[in-house]
């Protein structure tokens, strides 16, 4: 995390249609200490791609999309966005924090991610001045994106029932119909190394398959 600086660039992968991942670019806007939870920072980025231009910004289905530094090491995954209108500004959960949870699953219960995150006033002014977000969006703050959950072999009634049950349990999940055919990860093993993560085990790989859904 110490090497993540404002202005740093990278790229990510997401799926807007079908099962083929497509790239998007990111520029780091800043790192918010304890932004996601106590001891868990947030990396704020501006994303860009032809699809993002078309839909207006980060969509709910991008949750979990991996983001990589220019040297191929993984930085983290998309987790937050503005809910009040489209914007290319989003929040990334650092890979270091995710891997620590894999090493100690008990942390999942001990550390609960914030549903809403207020941005520092200085960052609010910069985003509004650059046109990356509106005053209403920055005042509202970033919200946690629902986790996309693809389900195959279920009809609309069952999907709706799953969605309602997950919501009843307080889980922020967006259920959608998925193809039974799985897609291979387009990321080679050499590019799955984390960004500044001690104790990295080569057998671990962070993958993401997400589907674009309008808000």
Q: What is the pLDDT of residues 31-40, one digit of tens each?
A: 999 888 888 8
Domain ranges within the chain, ordered by starting residue: 9-191
Looking only at the bridges linking them, the beta strands covering 40-48 and 89-94 are antiparallel
The model scores a pTM over 0.75? no
Q: What is the pLDDT of residues 80-132, one digit of tens each?
A: 999 777 899 999 999 887 776 666 666 555 556 778 888 999 999 999 999 99
Residue 69: predicted pLDDT? 93
Asked whether the predicted pLDDT for residue 195 surpasses 80, the reply is no
Residue 187: predicted pLDDT? 46
Q: What is the pLDDT of residues 150-191, one digit of tens each?
A: 788 888 888 888 888 877 877 777 777 776 554 444 444 434
Residue 172: predicted pLDDT? 72
CA separation for the pair 145, 174 (Å, rounded): 9
CA separation for the pair 189, 171 (Å, rounded): 31
What is the topology classification, in CATH, of domain 9-191?
Answer: Thrombin, subunit H (2.40.10)
CA separation for the pair 51, 195 (Å, rounded): 26
Please tell me the total number of residues recorded for the chain in this structure: 215
The pLDDT mean for the chain works out to 77
Looking only at the bridges linking them, the beta strands covering 173-177 and 147-151 are parallel
């Amino acid at each position: 995390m110490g090497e993540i600086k404002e202005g740093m660039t990278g790229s990510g992968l997401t799926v807007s249609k079908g099962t083929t991942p497509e790239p998007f670019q990111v520029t780091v806007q800043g790192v918010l200490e304890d932004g996601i939870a106590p001891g868990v920072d947030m990396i704020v980025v501006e994303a860009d791609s032809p699809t993002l231009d078309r839909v207006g910004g980060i969509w709910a289905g991008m949750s979990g999309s991996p983001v990589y530094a220019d040297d191929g090491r993984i930085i983290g995954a998309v987790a937050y966005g503005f809910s009040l209108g489209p914007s290319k500004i989003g929040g990334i959960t650092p890979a270091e924090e995710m891997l620590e949870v894999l090493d100690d699953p008990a942390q999942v219960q001990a550390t609960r991610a914030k549903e809403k995150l207020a941005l520092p006033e200085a960052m609010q002014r910069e985003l509004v001045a650059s046109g990356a977000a509106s005053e209403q969006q920055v005042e509202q703050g970033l919200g946690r994106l629902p986790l996309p959950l693809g389900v195959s072999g279920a009809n609309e009634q069952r999907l709706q029932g799953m969605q309602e049950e997950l919501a009843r349990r307080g889980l922020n999940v967006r259920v959608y119909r998925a193809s039974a055919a799985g897609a291979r990860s387009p990321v080679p093993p050499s590019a799955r190394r984390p960004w500044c993560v001690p104790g990295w085990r080569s057998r671990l790989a962070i993958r993401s398959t997400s589907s674009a859904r309008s808000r």
